[in-house]
Amino acid sequence: MSSVVDYLRLVKFSHTIFAMPFALLAFTYAWMYSDTDGISLWLLLLQVVGCMVFARNVAMGFNRWADRFIDAENPRTRDREIPAGRVSPQSAVAFIVVNALCFVVVASTINSLCGWLSPVALAVVMFYSYCKRFTALAHLVLGISLGIAPVGATIAVTGAISLESIILALVVMTWCAGFDIIYALQDADYDRQRGLHSIPSRFSATTSLAISALLHAASIALLLWYASYQPQSWLLYVGCALFIAIVSSEHYIVTPKRQRNIGIAFGTFNALASMSLALFLIANLLIFG
């Protein structure tokens, strides 16, 4: 029988740290600059975090289910929970359905727009799982699915989409697409053999890393645009500087001829980038907003 740990590994729950900090940043910004009289801060925050967790579980659970045959043939992924038999395909589907229902129900208790858009959000995050079967732009679709987080958090607070949340979503989209290209370098040869699409399977490692660097340059430019809407203080400058330094360093430790650090760049560096940025910018809003 599958354990809780198996399901947490199935959905890579630790990777929630990529999008969650941006959702919390957008939530704080919207709360600080909107009319929130009569709204319970802690209840709404709990609802937003719950939606983030449920959506993440659906996205990764569905991805692992959809890719179960591909993963079984890939030496790097054949030990994942479904191919290894620790979680059955039927149990994975049940897990996905339960989390999808929880997401829609919780989103509907926040406000009507969240409720109406919840199936759309699920469709986007699930659609990503099939993109690599027909387009090398799958990395951008992943970025879009994670970029939903700050927009959703803003809608939860205000009942509307703001320009600031869209800019932050674009930061997330380009940042995630950039690091997903780096991550996909590991499977470039296998993807070519299976006819799967990605930037690394279509182009050389040099070109792929150059595209990743351009996406990260775009995310930095978008971040500076978003920062113009924040209170100007040393906290803002330090937070942005840390994010820029950490993201830029990924391209120093991973090169076409030095790919052994992909795991560190993907997991550790990006987690530090998102957490440090959110920590300093949320503090900036609370202290100087």
pLDDT score recorded for residue 118: 97
pLDDT score recorded for residue 188: 96
pLDDT score recorded for residue 14: 60
Nearest to 248 by CA among 209, 203, 279: 209
Q: Do 74 and 190 meet the contact criterion of CB atoms below 8 Å apart?
A: yes
Instruction: Work out the percent of the chain whose per-residue pLDDT is above 90.
Output: 90
Q: Span 213-241, mean pLDDT? A: 98
Q: Do 55 and 121 meet the contact criterion of CB atoms below 8 Å apart?
A: yes
Does the pLDDT value for residue 7 go beyond 80?
no
Hey, what amino acid is at 63? N
How high is the mean pLDDT of the chain?
94
Confidence of residue 186 (pLDDT cuts 50, 70, 90): very high
Strand partners, 258: 255
Q: Do 30 and 165 meet the contact criterion of CB atoms below 8 Å apart?
A: yes
pLDDT score recorded for residue 9: 74
pLDDT score recorded for residue 16: 73
Instruction: Work out the percent of the chain whose per-residue pLDDT is above 70.
Output: 98
Confidence of residue 37 (pLDDT cuts 50, 70, 90): confident
Name residue, tokens 């279509």. 202
Confidence of residue 13 (pLDDT cuts 50, 70, 90): low
pLDDT digits (tens, 9 = 90+) for 58-103: 999 999 999 999 999 999 999 999 999 999 999 999 999 999 999 9
pLDDT score recorded for residue 130: 96
Domains observed in the chain: 4-288 (1.10.357.140)
Does the pLDDT value for residue 249 go beyond 90?
yes
Does the pLDDT value for residue 2 go beyond 90?
no
Q: Do 181 and 215 meet the contact criterion of CB atoms below 8 Å apart?
A: yes
Cα separation of 160 and 55, whole Å? 20
Using CB atoms within 10 Å of the CB of residue 54, give its burial: 0 to 12 exposed, 13 to 18 middle, 19+ buried.
buried
Distance, CA of 152 to chain centre: 13
Confidence of residue 214 (pLDDT cuts 50, 70, 90): very high
